[in-house]
Amino acid sequence: MMITRWIFLAAVLLVPLRAYAQPATTEPTNAREAAEKKAAVDRANDEKYQRWKATCSPEEQAWLKVLEENLGSFYLPLYKMEKARGSVSAWDYVKDDPKLPRVLLIGDSISRGYTLPVRKALAGKVNVHRAPENCGPTANGLKKLDIWLGDGKWDLIHFNFGIHDRATQPADYEQRLETIVVRLQKTGAKLIWASTTPLPAESRYGSDAAIVERNAIAARVMAKHGIPVNDLYARVKPRLAEFQNPNDCHFNSAGYEFLGQQIAAEILAALGNK
């Protein structure tokens, strides 16, 4: 009887010990496990992406090769995840309707955010493409512009550099922007410059004064070359509380829809409402 009682007591005491000793099955417990979990997710996404890619047309596969060479270690896994999930992406291949004008969007992550709203607004009116990466600062533009332009003919190019140039010396920013404009003019496309959108009052990105200064420099360069300015800064500034993420330069979905509508209207006006 005494032995039976001890066995029962030991079993009762061991139950919670087993429960506490059981490892978590979903949450990683350290950096190594987190990295391994992320690597496993990336491998699974890549396998799905490769299977999907194999079904694409040669033209689309050529575009995907450009993306793979330019999106980089941050955006390429995100793109593969989007395609593994069957989601639409700003960087998706655009099959041109030959009856419609071709437009290229050049810009940073802000432009990535408004690309799909612009496409939606101009569906059936314009073939809307975007550069195959986060275009970053003007220094990157000087290196990569020919890749972004590709081999096709553009009817209009809507472009911006600014947030990634907030620490660039003003004279360097002006000189690089001048060089970029001259190169874009050689395409024969109509050009529209987009002013850089504001930084919030409290931001890890620094002061909005740097954006105001670079917008003034850009406006001077565009005036010199007769290029119209789509003043996104002025359009969205009064509505930052509504449209911008807290303490962040990026926008919520309503903000990107708003910017997309402004850009679509400017593009249609410049193309003569084709």
Structural domain boundaries of the chain? 55-88, 102-270
Mean pLDDT by 10 residues, the chain (274 residues): 44 39 55 85 94 97 98 96 97 98 98 99 98 98 98 97 97 99 98 98 86 98 99 98 94 98 98 77
pLDDT of residue 206: 85
User: Using CA of residue 34, residue 40, residue 45, residue 50, what is the dihedral sign?
Assistant: positive
In this structure, which topology does domain 102-270 adopt according to CATH?
Rossmann fold (3.40.50)
Is residue 254 within 8 Å of 113, Cβ to Cβ?
no
Q: Is 264 helix (H, G, I), strand (E, B) or coil?
A: helix
Q: Is 251 helix (H, G, I), strand (E, B) or coil?
A: strand
Chain centre to alpha carbon of residue 121:
18
Question: Which one, of 270, 252, 273, 241, lies nearest residue 114 by Cα?
Answer: 252
Q: Enumerate the β-bridge partners of residue 251.
A: 244
Question: Which one, of 96, 98, 115, 62, lies nearest residue 263 by Cα?
Answer: 115
pLDDT of residue 35: 82
- DSSP designation for 244: B
Q: How far apart are CA 53 and CA 61, in angstroms?
A: 7
Q: How far apart are CA 178 and CA 183, in angstroms?
A: 9
